[in-house]
Structure 1
Amino acid sequence: MSEQSHTPKGKPFNLENHIEYAAGSVVSKTLIKKEIGTITLFAFDRGQGLSEHTAPFDAVVHILDGTAEITIGGKPQIVNAGEMLIMPANVSHALQAKQRFKMLLVMIRSD
């Protein structure tokens, strides 16, 4: 489920409270979508994930709540709330929720 959010501009807000978990689902909210990149919030319920894929540019993941298992180039690693990870361009990656988690994904396109 994806939606364009009504992100407050010019006012502080709490990222973790800006998206809710949904049972058995992955919820996403696009905060900013521009030609040069996107900023998207995600909430993954336990057992949900994103299958292995690649992207032509680096992507930054910041875990806001819970714990994610992120596999990069076939090597799984645990990323906890408060931690960030840069997923390198053109390297396969996947995300799995061993427990539910929320994350902020920042993708900036490059030539």
Structure 2
Amino acid sequence: MKTADLLSNIEYNEKRPAIQVMLDTDAGKEIRIAFKEGQVMKEHKTPFPIVVQIVEGSIDFGVEGQMHQLKKGGLIALEGHVPHDLKATSDSIVRLSLNKADKAERVENVARH
């Protein structure tokens, strides 16, 4: 058994979204992304399907050029290879569920650029 708390020990990065792997299991990875208002993750694609949940705050979530405003409690699922981007419209906590074969390092690289 593994446990984690998405709302404990949150550390923001002043320059870019802060990425932290919360759980790494046989089934997949759960990642917390802490955004300060105005921070972005530029358009990118994932090789596998993902699920994104807004735990706190609000995010403008672009999918192939169409903007979706997601608030606390909102969920969005994407198949692999779909272009998307994120911009925090307030300080936000995002849960990203990744396929086991995907890598947290890929997400960290997106946050750096």
Q: How does the TM-score come out when normalised to structure 1?
A: 0.77
Which structure features the higher share of helix residues? 2
When structure 1 is superposed on structure 2, of 95-104 and 35-44 the one drifting more is 35-44
**Contact 1:24-1:46 within 8 A present in 2 as well:** no
CA deviations on 1:1-27 (whole Å, 9 max, x unpaired) are xxxxxxx935xx531224233434311
Tell me the residue number matched to 1:15: 6
Corresponding pairs, count: 101
Q: Where does structure 1 lack aligned partners over 5 or more consecutive residues? A: 1-7
Q: Where does structure 2 lack aligned partners over 5 or more consecutive residues? A: 102-113
**Contact 2:2-2:23 within 8 A present in 1 as well:** no
Instruction: Name the structure, 1 or 2, with higher relative contact order (CA <8 Å, separation 6+).
Output: 2
2: CA distance, partners of 1:41 / 1:76: 22
Tell me the residue number matched to 1:57: 48
Tell me the residue number matched to 1:31: 22
Task: State, as a whole percentage, how many aligned pairs show the same letter.
Answer: 25
Which structure features the higher share of strand residues? 1
**Contact 1:51-1:95 within 8 A present in 2 as well:** yes
Q: What amino acid is the match of 1:32?
A: L
RMSD, matched Cα: 2.3
2: CA distance, partners of 1:9 / 1:56: 26
